[in-house]
């Protein structure tokens, strides 16, 4: 899983392989809810 920040667009991308799980303005590391929703889209669960 990769998390990238595109500074010129102020856009965060969370991807796994070729699938983009999240694209938006908020940093995925700062919101456990956002990570949970993105991982649920890929049938994964956040533990802890």
For 12-48, how does the pLDDT look when each residue is reduced to its tens digit (9 = 90+)? 998 888 888 889 999 888 888 887 887 777 766 655 5
Using the predicted structure, report yes or no on whether residue 7 has a pLDDT greater than 90.
yes
- The domains of the chain are located at 2-41
Q: Are 12 and 20 in contact (CB under 8 A)?
A: no
If you ran DSSP here, which 8-state letter would residue 40 be given? Answer: H
Q: What is the pTM of this model?
A: 0.69
Give me Rg for the CA atoms of the chain: 10
């Amino acid at each position: 899983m990769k998390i990238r920040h595109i500074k010129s667009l102020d856009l965060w991308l969370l991807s796994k392989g070729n699938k983009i799980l999240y694209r938006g303005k908020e940093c995925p590391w700062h919101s456990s809810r956002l990570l949970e929703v993105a991982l649920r889209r890929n049938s994964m669960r956040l533990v802890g």
